[in-house]
Structure 1
Amino acid sequence: MEKRTASCYCGQLSVEVQGEPQGVGVCHCLACQRRTGSVFAALAGFLAPYKVTGIATEFVRTGDQGAKFRFRFCSVCGSTVFHTEEGNESKWVAVAVGAFADPSFPPPQDSVYDCRRHPWVQLPQGVVVYEKDPT
């Protein structure tokens, strides 16, 4: 089974995942825009097990549906690397696509919070678009 490693800019924090992503998506919500400093977040979900190396600083955010998400980022360089949903940490992990530093990484399959997408952002053909979070 293929392994992939995503890491922060300085390399202090990393997460190793196995297999293909269960899904790849982009989120245009204002919380993700502020969290990433970009106009959207690109995330890939992987099933457990996953292995974390290094020390993460954590931030917990409550989503629109009430779920609590624990974001992990590097305390040295500040890069966001991954997050989990409280209560589901042993099931899956969401990894920032950019942390893989792999231009051949699979493209997004869906896009959420399109109502907040900057009008100049063009999505690849075939991406399923949701006005808000479909869950």
Structure 2
Amino acid sequence: MQRNLTAQAGGVSTANAQCACGALKLMLREPPQLTALCHCFACQRRTGAPFSANAFYSINCVEISGTSAEFIRTAESGRKVRMHFCPTCGSTVYWKADVSPFWIGVAVGSFADPAFAPPAISVFEQSKHKWVKVADTVEPFQGLPIGQH
């Protein structure tokens, strides 16, 4: 099995994410600043699953290769979220939110790595499916955490 977390490269560990067909790839030179589950309806629709698993990185540590198509949606805050997906296979790999211009969100599933860092928080639990159970170590929030926009 090929692991997506690679060895130390010049003292910096790297991780790779990609779409289903491999045409859109991200190389991340730092660990995520935050990992989170999101139960909002927009994420449910984006993933086709009852929640999304997300990793957030500093925009400066990301190298993107391949072409993406972009879908722009308006969040509940009124600000834009720019979803980037592969135009060949349709996988959403990453997104950028106007509210957090220095971060890039990456779908944890695009790493295809069961050893990926577990989520620290779970947001929008007000719309969480009742049968979904989240580990006790994950901090729950009904909406976004206080101090977030």
TM, length-normalised to structure 2: 0.85
2:138 corresponds to 1:127 = yes
Indicate the residue corresponding to 2:29 in structure 1.
18
> Which one-letter code corresponds to 2:89 in the other structure?
C
1:22-66 CA-partner distances (Å, limit 9, x unpaired): 000011011110111111111000112211111101111121222
Count of residues in Structure 1 that have an aligned counterpart in Structure 2: 134
**Counterpart selection for 1:60 from 46, 68, 72:** 72
Indicate the residue corresponding to 1:38 in structure 2.
49
Indicate the residue corresponding to 2:86 in structure 1.
74
TM, length-normalised to structure 1: 0.93
> Which one-letter code corresponds to 1:133 in the other structure?
L
Helix, strand or coil at the partner of 1:115:
helix
Indicate the residue corresponding to 1:86 in structure 2.
98
Cα distance in 2, alignment partners of residues 124 and 67 from structure 1: 31
Q: Runs of 4+ in structure 1 displaced over 2 angstroms?
A: 86-89
Unmatched 5+ residue regions in structure 2? 1-11
Helix, strand or coil at the partner of 1:2:
coil
Shift of 1:87: 7.2
Q: Percent identity?
A: 40
Whichever structure has more strand as a proportion of its residues is 1
2:122 corresponds to 1:111 = yes
Indicate the residue corresponding to 2:111 in structure 1.
100
Alpha-carbon RMSD across the aligned residues, in angstroms, is: 1.3
Mapped contact 1:56–1:72 kept (Cα < 8 A): yes
Unmatched 5+ residue regions in structure 1? none
Cα distance in 1, alignment partners of residues 54 and 119 from structure 2: 8
